[in-house]
Amino acid sequence: MTVRPVRIGVIGVGFGARVHVPAVRRDPRCVVAAVASRDAARAEAVAAALDIPVVHRDWRALIADPSIDAVSLAVPPADQPGIIIEAARTGKHVFCEKPVGASLDDAEHALDAARRAGIVHAIDFIFPEIAAWQRARDLLRGGVIGAPRRFSYVWRVQTVAARTRADSWKNRPDEGGGACGNFLPHVIFNLEWLLGRLVGLDSVPRDVDPASFCDCVAHLAGGIEGSITVETDARVPEGHRLQLVGESGTLMLSNTSSDYAHGFELRVSTGGREEVLERDVCPADGDGRIGPVARIVRRFVDGILEGWPAAPNLEDGVRVQRWLGRINHAVPR
C-alpha cells in the first residue's frame, strides 16, 4: 500500500528557506507542499527557486489549507505562539524554533493548545544531534572523567544582527532575542541533556547591554555547578566551548568555526594525558545546521505517522523558557 507523504507547509522564508526546507526534503516520507510569508514578493521568489508549488501570503491561509498536514515555523519568537495555537485548533502538527515565545505566558498557552489538540510537536534544539556531543554524553555516562563536579560554558560570537545593529527581533530581548533569548535556550537544554536537570540559575549582574551579553551561575542536580557566559557581539569571537571537570579528568567540547553546528572538537584529559576523540569537519558547502535539523524532522515525521511524541518538543521548550524568564527578570536593563 502506498502511503501519502506528509505534506508540510513552511512559514517563514529566511531561515525557513535556508534550513527548514532542505531539512524536510531529506526525509522521503514528506514533502514541502507550500510556503507562507508576509513578504509576498520574497515568498514567490523563494518558491520559484526551491520548486515549492504553493505560496500563501499569510500564515493563516496556509494553516487553513486542508491539504497541509503539518507546519514548520521559522518566524520570530513573538509570532510563534499564535501560529501554534491556530495550527493546534485545526489539527495540524507543529515543528518550531526556540524560544517558543517572547514571554513565558505565551509559550505556556501554545503548549496547552498543543496538548489539548493532541498534535505532534517538535522544537529545534540541534546540538544533541551532533556526533561530538553524542559521544561526549556517552563518555560521561561511561565514567571517563568520573563524576562531573563543575563546568564552564562560554559562547562568544559576533552575529550579523549584532555587528550591523540590525533592526531585528534578534537584537531585542523583549521579543525573544538577544543573548538570553536567542542563545541561552540552547545552553540550558544542552546542559540538561548532558548532565541532568537544572535546579538553580542566577544572573551575575553586569553593566552591559542584555541584548548582547548574558552571564549566569548554574546549579544542576547532583551538586554540579558552573558558569555560563554568552556574548553575541564579541570583539574577539571565541566560538562555542564547554569544559566539564570531573573527579578524575576533564572533557572539552569546542567549536571555533563560523558554522554553529559543524566544526566541534571533543577532547578528553585524564591522568595528565590529553586526547582528541572527535573532530567534526565543516561541510564544504551548504549550511551545517541542515543535517541536525533533519534528524529532528525525522523524529517529528515518525511521531506523525506512528502516533508517538517527538523529541525534543514544546514541553522541553517551555521548561527551558521558565528559566529564561528568571534570567531576563534579573538582568539589569
Per the CB < 8 A criterion, the answer to whether 99 and 186 are in contact is no
pLDDT tens string 156-181: 999 889 889 998 999 998 999 999 99
Q: What is the average pLDDT across 90-99? A: 97
pLDDT interval class at 2 (50, 70, 90):
low
pLDDT tens string 323-332: 987 775 443 3
Between CA 83 and CA 21 the distance in angstroms is 18
Class of the domain covering 6-125+289-313: alpha beta
CATH number 3.30.360.10 is the correct assignment for the domain at 127-283:
yes
Between CA 68 and CA 33 the distance in angstroms is 7
Q: Using CA atoms of 231, 236, 240, 243 in order, give the dihedral in degrees to the nearest 10.
A: -100
Per the CB < 8 A criterion, the answer to whether 278 and 264 are in contact is yes
pLDDT interval class at 111 (50, 70, 90):
very high
Greater pLDDT, 235 or 48: 48
How many Cα neighbours within 13 Å face the side chain of 141? 9
Q: Which residues pair with 154 in a beta bridge?
A: 229, 241
pLDDT tens string 3-45: 789 999 999 999 999 999 999 999 999 999 999 999 989 999 9
User: What are 291's three cell numbers?
Assistant: 543535517
**CA 255 distance to own-chain centroid:** 17
Nearest to 326, CA basis, from 234, 227, 200, 231: 200
Q: Where in the chain is the domain with CATH 3.30.360.10?
A: 127-283
Q: Where in the chain is the domain with CATH 3.40.50.720?
A: 6-125+289-313
Round to the nearest angstrom and report the end-to-end CA distance of the chain. Answer: 59
